[in-house]
């Protein structure tokens, strides 16, 4: 069959614009990240997660009244229904919290089934519900997998303080809550990454926002994306000492193994979020005690810069976030769900933007398979040369 059209295939769609967006912007050469035109450093210093979520989703900073109303709605919607909790109680405790989160986010679509994408009231309710309930679901799974009842959210606590309270079953130090809030802000949005693309593809079918978030959560979980923060801690533990950093990394480089928490498709310098997270980690160590893994991390950054700096490989957002979360008492396998709590803001902003000028995603492909083959009768087929294994 003649080739009907010639199109270029770029693995990973590198350099291909999948959407027009005014939500965030990265300059990977200069190490600049802006949300709606505002530098991330300025937001981290002056704003908070919910105000920034509002900025991302509605395109401008809220007035005092708008922010108060938004925060009030979110506080009011933090609780999850008993039946969602009952469903989550049936999840296997050995399952990964990202899988629990993906299933719970999708289940919200069952409980809030009405879909009315042209109605701003519906859009706002979905935004509020997802931002409010995702942290509650992450904390609830953490407690339930240990055999405990989930802790009810507290309306008198801020967004960040309430999550840490639900997780640790005790009130959190104000500095710790403030630093956690900045972490959420830093992870809230990051242009057309894999999970955001996934969210937009799902959104483009005009399905419900819970399915949009569930598909993005599934995409975020992989070790090349959000899952890297979890792997960084495993690697620091494996290295164990500052002296072992160089031999460990040399071995990785020789084996051409990926070093988690380093490298980025867009940034060719140190990720600005990594710089802020590093300073947050230092603030935490100052108040709550040093972490020996920080010394290992510093040495890693030094060696990687020396060995891979010329390739533009520097720490990304996932390198220092794990050290901050460890100090906040967050278990390692909750690092990626915590990333998801924050990124819901960006996914929802992209959902709204996609709906505003929607065209269903339907890319093409470069077909490199067979043509004009024929059905082979069973008795003439052979297993020879095929890699099949029976799974019991």
Nearest partner of 131 among 225, 49, 42, judged by Cα: 49
Nearest partner of 139 among 342, 327, 330, 348, judged by Cα: 330
Binding-residue pattern over the window 308 to 327 for ligand CMC, x denoting contact by CB under 6 A: ---x-x--xxx---------
Asked if 353 interacts with ligand CMC (CB under 6 A), we say: no
How far is C-alpha 54 from the geometric centre of its chain's CA atoms?
18
Asked if 109 interacts with ligand CMC (CB under 6 A), we say: no
Residue sitting closest to ligand CMC (CB): 263
Asked if 264 interacts with ligand CMC (CB under 6 A), we say: yes
Name 79's Cβ contacts closer than 8 Å, sequence gap at least 6: 133, 136, 152, 153
Torsion region of 150: left, alpha or beta (phi above 0 gives left; psi -120 to 50 gives alpha): beta
Asked if 330 interacts with ligand CMC (CB under 6 A), we say: no
Contact 335, 325 (CB under 8 A): yes
> Which listed residue (187, 264, 271, 350) is catalytic?
264
Asked if 193 interacts with ligand CMC (CB under 6 A), we say: yes
Asked if 258 interacts with ligand CMC (CB under 6 A), we say: yes
Structure tokens at 384: 């020879």
Contact 315, 359 (CB under 8 A): no
| Span from 73-81, 163-171, 173-181, 253-261 in contact with ligand CMC (CB under 6 A) | 253-261
Q: Exactly one of 79, 154, 246, 265 binds ligand CMC (CB under 6 A); which one?
A: 265
Q: How far is the CB of 262 from ligand CMC (least distance, A)?
A: 4
Whether 371 is catalytic: no
Q: How far is the CB of 237 from ligand CMC (least distance, A)?
A: 17
Terminal C-alpha separation, the chain:
41
Contact 117, 206 (CB under 8 A): yes
> Which listed residue (318, 333, 350, 374) is catalytic?
318
Buried b (16+ CB within 10 A) or exposed e, 82-114: eebbebbeebeeeebbbbbbbbbbbbbbeebee
Asked if 242 interacts with ligand CMC (CB under 6 A), we say: no
Whether 156 is catalytic: no
Q: How far is the CB of 145 from ligand CMC (least distance, A)?
A: 24
Q: How far is the CB of 41 from ligand CMC (least distance, A)?
A: 18
Catalytic positions are 264, 318
Q: Summarize as ranges the residues that interact with ligand CMC (CB under 6 A).
A: 12, 193, 224-226, 228, 258-265, 311, 313, 316-318
């Amino acid at each position: 069959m003649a080739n009907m059209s010639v199109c270029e295939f770029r693995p990973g769609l590198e350099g291909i614009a999948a959407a027009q967006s005014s939500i965030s912007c990265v300059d990977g050469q200069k190490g600049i990240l802006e949300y709606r035109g505002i530098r991330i450093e300025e937001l981290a210093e002056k704003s908070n997660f919910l105000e920034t979520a509002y900025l991302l989703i509605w395109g401008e900073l809220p007035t005092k009244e708008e922010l108060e109303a938004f925060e009030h709605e979110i506080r009011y919607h933090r609780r999850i229904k008993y039946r969602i909790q009952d469903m989550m109680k049936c999840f296997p405790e050995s399952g990964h919290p990202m899988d629990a989160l993906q299933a719970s986010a999708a289940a919200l679509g069952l409980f809030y089934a009405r879909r009315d994408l042209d109605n701003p009231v519906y859009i706002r309710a979905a935004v509020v519900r997802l931002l409010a309930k995702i942290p509650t679901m992450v904390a609830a799974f953490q407690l339930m997998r240990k055999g405990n009842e989930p802790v009810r959210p507290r309306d008198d606590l801020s967004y960040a303080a309430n999550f840490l309270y639900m997780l640790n079953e005790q009130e959190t130090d104000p500095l710790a809550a403030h630093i956690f809030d900045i972490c959420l802000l830093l992870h809230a949005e990051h242009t057309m990454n894999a999970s955001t693309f996934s969210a937009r593809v799902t959104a483009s079918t005009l399905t419900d926002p819970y399915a949009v978030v569930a598909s993005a959560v599934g995409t975020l979980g992989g070790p090349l994306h959000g899952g890297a923060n979890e792997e960084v801690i495993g690697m620091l533990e494996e290295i164990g000492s500052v002296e072992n950093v160089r031999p460990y990394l040399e071995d990785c480089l020789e084996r051409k193994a990926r070093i988690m928490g380093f490298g980025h498709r867009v940034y060719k310098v140190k990720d600005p979020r990594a710089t802020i997270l590093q300073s947050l980690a230092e603030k935490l160590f100052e108040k709550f005690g040093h972490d020996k893994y920080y010394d290992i991390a510093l040495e890693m950054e030094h060696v990687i810069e020396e060995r891979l700096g010329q390739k533009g490989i520097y720490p990304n957002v996932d390198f220092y976030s794990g050290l901050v979360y460890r100090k906040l008492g967050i278990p390692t396998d909750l690092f990626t769900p915590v990333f998801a709590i924050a990124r819901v803001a960006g996914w929802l902003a992209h959902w709204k933007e996609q709906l505003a000028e929607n065209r269903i995603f339907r890319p093409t492909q470069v077909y490199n398979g067979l043509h004009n083959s024929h059905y082979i009768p069973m008795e003439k087929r052979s297993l020879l040369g095929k890699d099949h294994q029976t799974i019991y």
